[in-house]
Amino acid sequence: MRIIGVDPGTNITGYGILDFEKPNKFKAIDFGTIKLSPKSEFNDKLTQIHIQLTALLEEFKPDAFVIEESFYGVNPKTIIKLGHARGVSILAAKLKNIPVFEYSPKEIKLAVVGNGGASKQQVQFMVRVLLKLTINLKEDEADALGAAICYTNKIKFEKNKRR
C-alpha cells in the first residue's frame, strides 16, 4: 500500500510518500517540500499547491492521502489561509479518487513519538529512526511523513480491533 502524507502550508507544503507492507514495515519512497514565494499572490500559491500535489499523485499513485488537520491558533487570518491550502490539497486527492484521512497534530505526534505534546525536533528524530533515514529532514517533510506513519498505525489498530 502506498501512502502520501501532506503537511499543508501557504509558503511551504511538506509531503512524504511511504510504501507500507505490514506493521512496522514501511519505506520512504520520496519526500520533500513545495516551496512558494512569500511574494506570490495568495490565489497563485493555492494554484501551485494543487498543481504540484496533483503531479505527485499522478507520479506515485498513492492508495491513501493523509493530511494534518487544522489546529486553532491565535491568528484567525492565518488559520483561514491554512484552511484554503488544506482545501486545494484535499481537492487534488479527491479528483484522483484517492481516499483522504485527516489526523490532528497531537494524534500524529502520539503515533510517531508516543507523546501528543512532542516537539518538532522529537518528531523529526523519530521519523528518521522509524524510516531508517540517514539524512536530516526538514520540519515539513517530517510532519508529512509522520502523518503517513500515523495512518499505518491506525490501519494496524483497525485490523486488530476486527479480530
Residues 85-144: tens digit of each pLDDT:
999 999 999 999 999 999 999 999 999 999 999 999 999 999 999 999 999 999 999 999
Taking alpha carbons only, the member of 125, 45, 32 closest to residue 85 is: 45
Structural domain containing residue 99: 2-162
Report the CATH number at residue 93. 3.30.420.10
Number of domains within the chain: 1
> Residues near 148 by Cβ (< 8 Å), separated by ≥ 6?
3, 4, 5, 16, 17, 18, 26, 66
Dig out the grid coordinates for 60 from the structure.
506515485
Identify the band that residue 25 occupies on the pLDDT scale cut at 50, 70 and 90.
confident
Dig out the grid coordinates for 87 from the structure.
482545501
Among 33-37, 73-77, 142-146, which is the least confidently predicted range? 73-77
**Cβ contact 104:118 at 8 Å:** no
Taking alpha carbons only, the member of 11, 31, 18 closest to residue 136 is: 31
Q: What percent of the chain has pLDDT over 70?
A: 92
Q: Mean of the pLDDT values across residues 64-77?
A: 84
Q: Which residues are catalytic?
A: 7, 68, 140
pLDDT in tens, 4-14: 999 999 999 99
Taking alpha carbons only, the member of 114, 101, 94 closest to residue 154 is: 101
pLDDT at 72: 66
